[in-house]
Structure 1
Amino acid sequence: MNNGTKKNIDASIKESDDDDIEILEEEYKENEQLKFDIGALSLDSEAKSSKTSVSNITTPIKEPENQGAVSLHLLSNEQKTPKTNIKFSKRIDVIEEYKKRVADKLPLNLVVIGHVDAGKSTLMGHLLYLLGEVNERAMRQYERDSSKIGKSSFAYAWVLDETGEERNRGITMDIAIRKFETENRRFTLLDAPGHRDFIPNMISGASQADVSILVVDATVGEFESGFEANGQTKEHALLIRSLGVQQLVVAVNKLDTVKWSKARYDEIIEKLGAFLSQAGFKKDKIAYIPCSGLTGENIIHRSPDILNWYSGETLIQQIDKFEPPTRLLENPFRLSVADFFKGGIGNVSGVTVTGRIESGTIQTGEEIAVIPGGERGVVKALTINEESSKWAAAGDSVMLTLTELDILQLKIGSILCPPSQPVPITSHFLARIVVFDVKIPITRGFPVILHRQSLNEPANIIKLVDIINKNTGEIVKKNPRHLPKSTTATVEIKLSNRPIPLETFKDNKELGRIMLRKGGETVAAGVVVDVSFPKLLDIAYDTNSHFALYLF
């Protein structure tokens, strides 16, 4: 299309009302059904001829520099339809299959967080060993190898810290993923780094979690260094709460270093309890477990003569009580790309992407679109936690091999979705945020790094719309000059470089949460309210907004 034609089309779209757009979407759905029927019958000649007869569709693509709203352009199916004829596999009722899968044990994604050197990897490595997930031979090898470099106490940590750099430095640098089962639950374990230099990796992993274990070091001086200024205990707790995690087990680790002192245990849970309540955790959703990752005490078994003052659950008993969140199975398919590489699963060729399904379902043979860009591909193979499957659903961590997809169209943070239900893209949106313990108040033009799961992009807070009472949701002040710490506010955010796929919290809770960081510190977190800029709407208070404001 020449420039004149594009302008006319853009103008006609802007002038059309919502009903016109709905008609275009209906035409597209009918065309997709036609392609599906033809593909299922493997009628090559008819499939080829159908390309020229199918109507145009609407797909969001990158907008002009001078606009922040989502732009719609008409793109032909000739550009978007995979060039080869894919034989679709037999359709599966994924929701029914999902119900069968969870009937035995409920699946949960568990992230382990805490300050650096709190003993997270050692604790979880010992747990995996006691559950039989690590065989005796491998464990003895870890012990010998760690002793050779003078770090024998790190043997259990090496179960999860697998890279040479992590083992030499004695810290977790990236998310480690393992599987284990309890009596009633099936867990995907995400061991997050505790060092402040790797907070972006921690956010990426924590965004996939349903529940969490917060590990704190009971050693005198070590708990204080992690909990007070510049420690990661508080920041990690705030981050996971802002990411939607509501259930938390606090593992008071290394109690053996203080001779299993009940007074020390009580001191720690008193300080932590007050902070976690302020952070938005409900008291009945928090459990405190005294333990030692090195000795294994109270992980699966407890010695009565050691913890004679404690009569509660062991760590494994407590995490077995976690309740699974509601999965958005009926919503459109959404997967945020955490990583990708050229090549397929097993002997399958193509491009492989990894990530967690935030909503909806997917199965082999289905067509997906990559947003931004609108490039299409077909799911040729998939695995769930490295196990081959024909389908996957919301909450699953998956690897998808896609055919007919240009790898150059993929980026970390891209969203995979159905072509008929694309994710909006925007570079200018409205958000409600909670300001953390910032040293300098947030003002208009404040530069930040915006995090949405694995995606991070430079941005600016270009307008302070209002300050809100976090308890009632009522507007306290309009157009404030600055936002001090602990403030709940509505702000306009504009990205500096490019539009990104983003949904409102109301439409998709997982894709509607954001983090704002600056200078290596998290300054605020919040939820997306509106992506339909440049228009600015007056957002009325309602119960859903209140939930978004206070609990994310």
Structure 2
Amino acid sequence: MEALNLNVENTSSKKVTKLPPKISPKHKRINVLEEYKKRNDNKVALNLVVVGHVDAGKSTLMGHLLYLLGEVNEKTMKKYERDSSKIGKSSFAYAWILDETGEERARGITMDIAITKFETEHRRFTLLDAPGHRDFIPNMISGAAQADVAILVIDSTTGEFEAGFEANGQTKEHALLVRSLGVQQLVVTINKLDVVGWSQDRFNEIITKLSPFLNQAGFKKDKVIYIPCSGLTGENLLKRSQNILEWYSGPTLFQQIDKFEPPIRLLDKPFRLSVSDFFKGGISGMGGITVAGKIEAGTIQIGDDVLVIPGGEYGVIKGLEVNDESSKWAAAGDSILMTLSGLDILQLKVGSILCSVSHPVPVTSYILAQIVVFDIKVPITKGFPVILHRQSLNEPATITKLVTILDKSTGEIVKKNPRCLPKASSATVEIKLTNRPVPFETYKENKELGRIMLRKGGETIAAGIIINVSIL
């Protein structure tokens, strides 16, 4: 995605006429940038998403790691073991640490994003366990959009890797999605190697097949690390497995994720937060409306006023929680809860943007996007209906014009006004939202909000960046 041509003009924002409420004088202003530096001098905060084909063992692997790290006590673990045995699913005990709902446990699959926290020596993680089943890909996109780094879990058992990697499997789609959403660092765990006798040949076979695909998807070779492990037995998660000492001298999963590099945060940009959830009532019993989401850009503190787009309603920040702890401030990269006063809950939707009052996000039904077409069966033509995803937002839309086909390496125009877009092509297209105008920003203005995903018929057909916004 980084190679796409971003030489476009800046767009201006729609004027907001309603005056915001005055900031409360009770709150002393904080130098958020100084506080942010102090916090990150200790441990860098990262959002980690775990993805992979259904039944690859994602929840079991990460649940077992959390148990080994002491995030789950013995009493709770014993209860999970007893309860899972009662329904004939004893091997799911570690997965239950993350799969909390009755339906998830009964079906043995993750259906929504499970969020938890843990720390390594140098990093503080918010863990996002994404569903692998194709029916829940929209939930997976919503979670992956919050991620800085990712773990791709591969089932190494005979036939299972092939099922996930080939036609209709989610391994390829998940890898493409996380890369399209901006993730550049990837740990690939070759899971369930205990089932195939800790076979080095099987480990190498999977890498040989997977590596060219990940490279083609945009992952640099030095940013992808392969780790053999077993989520069920716990081998090579925290401590090195004796079963692979003869042929593997690399890090354990725990050691490798501690080496993830921190991303560059957009601290100097205007405040932006994409709403992933909201509810009536405030933090710690205070009144108001509470919003959940990840701050994509800028900083905020208690007493600030924010603008809801679309809608143009204002709210004043009365309370903040960062990493489940009360805070007076928050910054780009933080997944937060924010309590607002003076806001009508009817103005909020999942996918709404909370933004700086002085720098509102443009609202539009028309965008110009540069996309990469995935492995589709039917070429994209003018009038092609799609579902457009941008983080937690998903809206019906139509590709109204095929503008150009581009050279994937140079970004130069190869053909103007093409009749169709075949698989693996790169192109510029015009897109119109079907139902309503929504907030969009160009990739040049905000890399997080400027990425989009296009899906049709339950499959992801393209991903790209917004290069221009038509202001309403």
Distance in 2 (alpha carbons) for counterparts of 1:270 and 1:261: 14
Distance in 2 (alpha carbons) for counterparts of 1:302 and 1:331: 43
Q: Are the aligned partners of 1:260 and 1:307 in contact in 2 as well (CA < 8 Å)?
A: no
Name the counterpart of 1:29. none
Structure 1 counterpart of 2:467, one-letter code? V
Matched, 1:132 2:70: yes
Distance in 1 (alpha carbons) for counterparts of 2:341 and 2:414: 53
Name the counterpart of 1:286. 224
Distance in 2 (alpha carbons) for counterparts of 1:229 and 1:88: 59
Residues 84-124 of structure 1 deviation map (CA, whole Å, 9 limit, x = unaligned)? x8344110000100000000111110000000000000000
Name the counterpart of 2:466. 528
Task: Report the alpha carbon displacement of residue 385 of structure 1 after superposing the two structures with TM.
Answer: 2.0
Matched, 1:81 2:21: yes
Task: Report the alpha carbon displacement of residue 304 of structure 1 after superposing the two structures with TM.
Answer: 2.7
Matched, 1:212 2:141: no
Task: Report the alpha carbon displacement of residue 302 of structure 1 after superposing the two structures with TM.
Answer: 1.7
Distance in 2 (alpha carbons) for counterparts of 1:221 and 1:185: 36
Choose from 367, 371, 377 the match for 1:433.
Answer: 371
Name the counterpart of 2:4. none
User: SS in structure 2 opposite 1:300?
Assistant: coil
Name the counterpart of 2:404. 466
Q: Are the aligned partners of 1:217 and 1:252 in contact in 2 as well (CA < 8 Å)?
A: yes
Distance in 1 (alpha carbons) for counterparts of 2:24 and 2:31: 20
Name the counterpart of 1:447. 385
Distance in 2 (alpha carbons) for counterparts of 1:93 and 1:143: 48
Task: Report the alpha carbon displacement of residue 301 of structure 1 after superposing the two structures with TM.
Answer: 0.6
Name the counterpart of 1:395. 333
Q: Are the aligned partners of 2:115 and 2:129 in contact in 1 as well (CA < 8 Å)?
A: yes
User: SS in structure 1 opposite 2:346?
Assistant: helix
Choose from 246, 259, 267 the match for 2:205.
Answer: 267
Q: Are the aligned partners of 1:382 and 1:390 in contact in 2 as well (CA < 8 Å)?
A: yes
Residues 360-387 of structure 1 deviation map (CA, whole Å, 9 limit, x = unaligned)? 0010000001001110010000101211
Distance in 2 (alpha carbons) for counterparts of 1:306 and 1:207: 35
Task: Report the alpha carbon displacement of residue 533 of structure 1 after superposing the two structures with TM.
Answer: 5.9
Residues 267-287 of structure 1 deviation map (CA, whole Å, 9 limit, x = unaligned)? 001101010011010000000
Name the counterpart of 1:540. none
Distance in 2 (alpha carbons) for counterparts of 1:110 and 1:533: 34
Q: Are the aligned partners of 2:382 and 2:419 in contact in 1 as well (CA < 8 Å)?
A: yes
Distance in 2 (alpha carbons) for counterparts of 1:428 and 1:169: 41
Q: How does 1:373-412 map to 2 (within 5 A)?
A: 373-412=311-350
User: SS in structure 2 opposite 1:225?
Assistant: helix
Distance in 2 (alpha carbons) for counterparts of 1:172 and 1:237: 18
Distance in 2 (alpha carbons) for counterparts of 1:520 and 1:127: 32
Q: How does 1:181-220 map to 2 (within 5 A)?
A: 181-220=119-158
Task: Report the alpha carbon displacement of residue 76 of structure 1 after superposing the two structures with TM.
Answer: 4.2
Identity among equivalent pairs (%): 73
Name the counterpart of 1:13. none
Structure 1 counterpart of 2:347, one-letter code? Q
More helix by share: 1
User: SS in structure 1 opposite 2:215?
Assistant: helix
Q: Are the aligned partners of 1:438 and 1:485 in contact in 2 as well (CA < 8 Å)?
A: yes
Name the counterpart of 1:93. 31
Task: Report the alpha carbon displacement of residue 306 of structure 1 after superposing the two structures with TM.
Answer: 4.5
Structure 2 alignment gaps of length 5 or more: 1-8
Task: Report the alpha carbon displacement of residue 473 of structure 1 after superposing the two structures with TM.
Answer: 1.1
Name the counterpart of 2:193. 255
Name the counterpart of 1:113. 51
Q: How does 1:132-531 map to 2 (within 5 A)?
A: 132-531=70-469
Structure 2 counterpart of 1:398, one-letter code? I
Task: Report the alpha carbon displacement of residue 470 of structure 1 after superposing the two structures with TM.
Answer: 1.0
Q: Are the aligned partners of 2:374 and 2:461 in contact in 1 as well (CA < 8 Å)?
A: yes
Distance in 2 (alpha carbons) for counterparts of 1:222 and 1:303: 23
What do you get for the CA RMSD once the two structures are aligned? Answer: 1.5
Distance in 2 (alpha carbons) for counterparts of 1:168 and 1:332: 44
Task: Report the alpha carbon displacement of residue 419 of structure 1 after superposing the two structures with TM.
Answer: 1.2
Structure 1 counterpart of 2:376, one-letter code? V
Distance in 1 (alpha carbons) for counterparts of 2:308 and 2:384: 31
Distance in 1 (alpha carbons) for counterparts of 2:132 and 2:285: 37
Distance in 1 (alpha carbons) for counterparts of 2:432 and 2:382: 11
Residues 131-190 of structure 1 deviation map (CA, whole Å, 9 limit, x = unaligned)? 011111111110000000000000000000000000000000000011111111111100
Distance in 2 (alpha carbons) for counterparts of 1:366 and 1:156: 42
Change (3 A) 1:353 1:76: closer
Q: Are the aligned partners of 2:307 and 2:356 in contact in 1 as well (CA < 8 Å)?
A: yes
Distance in 2 (alpha carbons) for counterparts of 1:529 and 1:445: 20
Q: How does 1:15-94 map to 2 (within 5 A)?
A: 60=14, 72=15, 75-77=17-19, 80-81=20-21, 86-94=24-32
Q: Are the aligned partners of 1:88 and 1:366 in contact in 2 as well (CA < 8 Å)?
A: no
Structure 1 alignment gaps of length 5 or more: 1-17, 23-58, 61-71, 535-552
Q: 1 or 2 for the larger relative contact order (CA 8 Å, sep ≥6)? A: 2
Distance in 1 (alpha carbons) for counterparts of 2:18 and 2:354: 20
Distance in 2 (alpha carbons) for counterparts of 1:194 and 1:401: 32
Task: Report the alpha carbon displacement of residue 532 of structure 1 after superposing the two structures with TM.
Answer: 2.9
Name the counterpart of 1:4. none
Indicate the larger mover: 424-433 or 524-533.
Answer: 524-533
Distance in 2 (alpha carbons) for counterparts of 1:119 and 1:108: 22
User: SS in structure 2 opposite 1:346?
Assistant: helix
Distance in 2 (alpha carbons) for counterparts of 1:97 and 1:277: 38
Residues 215-268 of structure 1 deviation map (CA, whole Å, 9 limit, x = unaligned)? 000000000000000000000000000000000000000000100000000000
Q: Are the aligned partners of 1:429 and 1:533 in contact in 2 as well (CA < 8 Å)?
A: no
